[in-house]
Structures are given as C-alpha cells and as structure tokens.
Amino acid sequence: MQPKEFKQFVREDAPRGDITSEAIFGPEGPDVKAQIVAKQDLVVSGFSVIKELLRSEFTKVSLTLKTRDGAFVKKGKVLAVVVGPVSQVLQCERLCLNILQHLSGIATQTSKYVALAKSFGVTILDTRKTLPGWRDAQKKAVRDGGGANHRRDLSDQYLIKDNHIDAVGGVIEALEQVRAHQKKFKNKPLIEVEVRSEGEFCEALLMRPDIILLDNMTPAQIRQLVRMRNKSCDPKHRPLLEISGGVTLKNINRYVRLGVERISIGALTHSVMAADVAMKITWIVNRRS
C-alpha cells in the first residue's frame, strides 16, 4: 500500500483528530506500553501492513513483534508490543486491529481448507473477489494461511468464463481467439477456460489449455471428467483441473478425493470472519509534565 492510502485511513477515522484522547491527554500525553493479544487460535497476517501504517502516520509509535505473519498462534499469545504517546497509541488502535483482524481471519480460514486438502495434493487458491485497494494484502493473507494465489488481475492470466463463451459462440471459438492473442507475449500468460458441461469440457480438452475450470459441478460429474482427462491426455501434457463453486469446509472432503489439482474459493476473501484480537495498555512508561 502507498502512503497516500494510509493518510486516507487516518483521515477517514479521525478527520479532526481523536477528540476524546486529546481532551483527556492532550496531543500526546504520557508514553505507554500496550500488548496486542490473540483472543482465539489463529494464523497471523497483517503486520506487514501495520508496520507501514505506523511508519507513515504514527511515527512516535514503535511496534515490536512477538510472532510473524504466517505463524499459527494459540489463544492468549502476545502478538506484538506497542510503545508510544498514549494519544497516538489510542488513535491507531482500531486501525491496527481492523487490519490484523481482517487479514488474520483470511489466513486462519485459508489454513483450515489447506489442512483438509494438502494430503491429497490439492492446491487451495483464492480469486479476484477482493476489496478494491486491498487485493495485494488479502492475497498475501491467503499465502500466509498456506494457500496459493490465482491470477492477481485481468492482465495476469487468461481466464475464459461463461460470458466470454456465450458472447463469442463457444469454447473452441474463445480458445482460438485467446491462442492468437497469446502470441503477442514473450512470456506467454497461462490460459484457463471455465466449462459448465461435459460437452464444453470435451471441446476444451481438444484445445489443451493450461487449466480447465469445472464450475459448480457435482462430485459425480467431476469424477467422470477427471477420468476422461486422464484417459485422453499424456500425464506430462494434460491440463490441470480446477474446481470452483459450492466448496465449503463442511463438504471439501467430497472434492479433494476426486483427482483434481486445484480448488479456488471466493469465500476466502469475500466472506471472511474477522479473527479476534485485542489491544490493552499494560504500563505507563512515563508521565509528561
């Protein structure tokens, strides 16, 4: 994130300052020490953003980490110690906690999916269903949770979706257009195509894209298409198969056993539950006269 974004965070939260803290302590007040503590078991993510926020906007506040992004911690773990003028510490408190709660929530949720998929050789991926301006941070949180990133943006990789197919007239037509366009690139972007039926899958298989995305299919349908792919393609040159749509923590065990290589899950970023963390002042370092 850029300094101008951090300035906007502060402007949004305290357009005329933190009037409560300023009323009680003045513009700075005594130096205090505060702890950021995990209130649940979680996977940490967000401190890389918080460090930049403090460096940009709260220069008198120091942050000492007691863990790292990507670490699993138990409830009660002290994640970091914050020291600085009480008014600045209190003003940055909610900004820091919001960032940490949101991104640690993504990392924690991702880690649960990864734990269920890893032994089957299935990669858990995110999607582009992210908040504007927060994509890089949210995608890093997925990595912190052990997941992998799908394409970062529309320029990163070809992904032919249902609307492309319907508008151009079919899977083969769409793939032909993309193959021609791909020749413009020295480093050729991957080609992925979404299919909704066995017929579309067979057309895609003929064109050998890098990845075929099986959209909202049942386990029985997926199992059949995996068999078709394995039977008709050399293992060294066959498209990867990816599942998307309807996969949850409750049913993922039905999908990881089907022989696909990838599962992409929009809910990792668009429906995340915030992790529970808190900040508590533990000590007054000095009182200013």
- Active site positions, annotated: 94, 129, 161, 194, 215
Distance CA 190, CA 211 (A): 8
Residue whose C-alpha is closest to residue 222's, from 195, 203, 204: 195
Cα dihedral across residues 135, 140, 143, 148: positive or negative: positive
Is the CB of residue 42 less than 8 Å from the CB of residue 275?
Answer: yes
DSSP H helical ranges for the chain:
3-13, 19-25, 47-57, 86-117, 135-144, 162-168, 171-182, 198-207, 219-232, 252-255, 267-270
CB burial of 30-55 (b: ≥16 within 10 Å; e: otherwise) equals ebbbbbbbbeeebbbbbbbbbeebbe
Sequence-ordered alpha helix ranges (H) in 14-83: 19-25, 47-57
DSSP state letter for 152? S
Distance CA 105, CA 112 (A): 11
CA distance 262 to 241: 6
Structure tokens at 223: 């199992």
Write the CA distances from 107 to 72, 78, 168, 233, 278, integer angstroms.
10, 18, 38, 35, 17
Q: How far apart are CA 20 and CA 284, in angstroms?
A: 18
Measured distance CA(1)–CA(118) in Å, rounded:
31
